[in-house]
Amino acid sequence: MRGRNRISSAVIAMLGLGIGAGAWPLDAPGGDAANGKRLFLAIGCFECHGRVGQGGYFNYQTPTLAHTALPLEGFRVLVRMGLNDMPAYKEQVLSDHDLADIHAYLRSLPGPRPVKDIPQLNP
Amino acid sequence: MVDVLKTLDLEYLAMNPASNFRGVHEAVINYGMNARPEILTCAHEEIAFSMAQGYAKIEGKPMAVICHGTVGLQHGAMALYNAWCDRVPIYAMIGNIVDADKRLQIFEWTHSAIDPAALVRDFVKWDDQPASLQHFAESAMRAYKIAVTPPMGPVLLSLDAELQENPIPDRDRLRIPALTRVIPSVGDSAALAEAARYLVAADNPVLICDRMARTADGMTRMVELAEALQCAVVDMGGRMNFPSRHPLNQTGSRVAVIAQADVILAIEMNDLFAATHFLSDRIERATRPLYKPDTRIITLGSRDLFIKSNYQDFGRFNAVDMAIAGDAEASLPALTEQVRRLINARRKTALDARGKQLADAHHSLTEQIRSSATIGWDARPITTARLCAELYAQIQHEDWSLVGTGINVTWPMRLWNFDKPYSWNGSSGGSGLGYNAPASAGAALANKRHGRLSVAIQGDGDLLYVPSTLWTAAHHRIPILYVMHNNRAYNQEYMYLQAMTNRHNRGVTNAHLGTTITDPNVDFATVAKGFGVYAEGPISDPADLGPALQRAVAVVKRGEPALVDVLTDQR
Distance CA B444, CA A60 (A): 28
Does residue A8 form part of some domain? yes
ipTM of the complex: 0.91
Q: How high is the pLDDT of residue A59?
A: 83
Tell me whether A44 touches chain B (CB under 8 Å).
yes
**How many distinct helices (H) and strands (E) make up chain A?**
5, 2
Reduce the DSSP state of residue B269 to 3 states and report it.
Answer: coil
A31 and chain B: CB distance < 8 Å anywhere?
Answer: no
Mutate to test the interface with A, among B253, B255, B371, B377 (most CBs of A within 10 A): B377
Establish, for the pair of chains A and B, how many residue pairs have beta carbons separated by less than 8 Å: 129
In this model, does residue A8 exceed pLDDT 80?
Answer: no
Residues in chain A with CB shorter than 8 Å from the CB of B367 are: 115
Angle in degrees, 0-180, between the axes of helices A72-81 and A96-108, rounded to the nearest 10: 120
Residue A16 falls inside a structural domain: yes
- For A123, which of B396, B495, B508 is closest by C-beta distance? B396
| A80 part of a folded domain | yes
User: Is B492 in Cβ contact with A118 (below 8 Å)?
Assistant: no
B:211-230 residues touching chain A, CB 8 A cutoff: none
Q: What is the CATH number of the domain that holds A98?
A: 1.10.760.10
Mean pLDDT (whole number) for A64-74: 96
User: Out of B383, B415, B509, whose CB is closest to A50?
Assistant: B383
Q: Note whether A82 contacts B282, CB cutoff 8 Å.
A: yes
Residue B242 makes CB contacts below 8 A (sequence gap 6+) with: B209, B219, B222, B223, B226, B233, B235, B249, B251
Check CB contact of B393 with chain A, cutoff 8 Å: yes
The predicted-structure confidence for B80-101, as pLDDT tens digits, reads as follows 999 999 999 999 999 999 999 9
Inter-chain touch B374–A89, beta carbons under 8 Å: no
pLDDT in tens, B472-523: 999 999 999 999 999 999 999 999 999 999 988 899 999 999 999 999 999 9
Q: B-chain residues within 8 Å CB-CB of A51?
A: 376, 379, 381, 569-570
CA atoms of B465 and B46, how far apart (whole Å): 9
Cα distance between residue A16 and residue B337, in whole Å: 44
What's the rounded Cα separation, in Å, for the pair A102 and A108? 10
Q: Which of A89, A90, A121 sits opposite B374 (nearest CB)?
A: A121
- Residue A58 is predicted with a pLDDT of 86
Q: Using CA atoms, how far apart are residues B362 and B357, in angstroms rounded to an integer?
A: 9
The number of residues making up chain A comes to 123
**How many domains is chain A partitioned into structurally?**
1
The pTM for the full model equals 0.95
Backbone angles phi, psi at B435, to 5 degrees: -90, -50
Quick check: B425 and B403 in contact, CB under 8 A?
yes
pLDDT, residue B254, reads 97
User: Quick one: average pLDDT of A25-32?
Assistant: 63
State the pLDDT at residue B409: 63
CB B545 within 8 A of CB B552: no
For residues B538-563, b (16+ Cβ closer than 10 Å) or e, as one string? Answer: bbeebebbbebbeebbebbeeebbbb
Of the candidates A87, A119, A120, which has its C-beta nearest B498's C-beta?
Answer: A87
CA A119 to chain CA centroid, nearest Å: 29
Would you call A119 and B393 a contact, using CB atoms and an 8 Å cutoff?
yes
Judged by a CB distance cut-off of 8 A, whether residue B499 touches chain A is yes
Label residue A27 by pLDDT band (50, 70, 90).
very low
pLDDT tier, B285 (very low <50, low <70, confident <90, very high otherwise): confident
Q: What is the mean pLDDT of residues B340-356?
A: 98
Q: Is residue A16 pLDDT above 60, yes or no?
A: no
pLDDT tens readout for residues B32-64: 999 999 999 999 999 999 999 999 999 999 999
Question: Which of B99, B101, B109 is CA-nearest to residue B68?
Answer: B109
Domains of chain B as residue ranges with CATH = 2-171 (3.40.50.970), 189-362 (3.40.50.1220), 374-567 (3.40.50.970)
Average pLDDT value for residue range B142-168: 97
| Separation in Å, CA of B127 to nearest CA in chain A | 36
Closest chain B residue to A38 measured between Cα atoms? B509
Cβ <8 Å between B569 and A93: no
Alpha-carbon span B524 to B103, nearest angstrom: 43
- The mean pLDDT of A34-41, rounded to a whole number, is 98
Separation CA A65–CA A50 (nearest Å) = 9
Q: Whole domain around residue A36: which residue ranges?
A: 2-112
Exposed/middle/buried for residue A63 (C-beta within 10 Å: 0-12, 13-18, 19+) = middle
* Residue at A118 is within a domain: no
Contacts of B386 in chain A (CB under 8 A): 120
Q: Choose among B60, B51, B73: nearest CA to B9.
A: B60
> Residue B156 — pLDDT band, cuts 50, 70, 90?
very high
Q: Do B385 and A54 touch (CB under 8 A)?
A: yes
If pLDDT is split at 50, 70 and 90, which confidence band does A85 have?
Answer: confident
Which positions in chain B touch A59 (Cβ < 8 Å)? 279, 281
Percent of chain B with pLDDT over 70: 99
Q: Does residue A88 form part of some domain?
A: yes
Residue B448 makes CB contacts below 8 A (sequence gap 6+) with: B454, B478, B479, B559
Give the model confidence (pLDDT) of B207-229 as tens digits: 999 999 999 999 999 999 999 99
* Residue A74 touches partner B, C-beta closer than 8 Å: no
Residues of chain A contacting B569 with CB distance shorter than 8 Å: 46, 50-52, 54, 56
Task: Report the mean per-residue pLDDT for chain A.
Answer: 82
In terms of CA atoms, which chain B residue is nearest residue A110? Answer: B375
The CA distance from B517 to the nearest CA of chain A, in Å, is 14
**What residues of A are in contact with residue B514 (Cβ under 8 Å)?**
none
Q: What is the mean pLDDT of chain B?
A: 97
Say how far apart CA B278 and CA B256 lie, in whole Å: 11
Residue B416 pLDDT: 97
Binary contact (B370, A87; C-beta < 8 A): no
Averaged pLDDT, B2-14? 98
B456 forms beta bridges with B404, B482
In Å, how far is A11's CA from the nearest CA of chain B? 16
pLDDT above 70: residue A1: no
Q: What tens digit of pLDDT does each residue of B379-438 get?
A: 999 999 999 999 999 999 999 999 999 877 689 999 999 999 999 999 999 999 999 999
Answer whether A47 sits within 8 Å of B570, measured CB to CB: yes
Asked whether the beta carbons of residue B377 and residue A113 sit closer than 8 angstroms, the reply is yes
The answer to whether A34 and A106 have CB atoms below 8 angstroms apart is no
Nearest-CA residue of chain A relative to B499? A87
Q: Do A85 and B381 touch (CB under 8 A)?
A: no
Cβ–Cβ below 8 Å for B372 and A112 = yes
Cα gap A88→B504, rounded to integer Å: 10
Q: How far is CA B29 from the centre of its chain?
A: 30
**pLDDT tier at A6, thresholds 50, 70, 90:** very low
Instruction: Encode B135-174: b = buried (16+ Cβ within 10 Å), e = exposed.
Output: ebbbbbbbbbebbbbbbbbbbbbbbbbebbeeeeeeeeee
Whether A49 shows a pLDDT value over 80: the answer reads yes
Question: Per-residue pLDDT tens for B124-137?
Answer: 999 999 999 999 99
Which amino acid is present at B33? M
**Residue B65 bridge partners (DSSP):** B14, B92
- Whether A40 is covered by a domain: the verdict is yes
**Residue A121 domain flag:** no
Q: Is A25 on the interface with B (CB under 8 A)?
A: no
Question: Looking at the domain assignment, is residue A86 inside a domain?
Answer: yes
**Structure confidence at residue B327 (pLDDT):** 98
Question: Of the candidates B385, B177, B274, which has an alpha carbon nearest to the alpha carbon of residue A55?
Answer: B385
**CA atoms of A117 and B199, how far apart (whole Å):** 43
Q: What is the pLDDT of residue B257?
A: 98
Q: How far is CA B253 from the centre of its chain?
A: 24
SS3 B376: coil
Amino acid, res. B50: S
Contact criterion met (CB below 8 Å) for B547 and B454: no
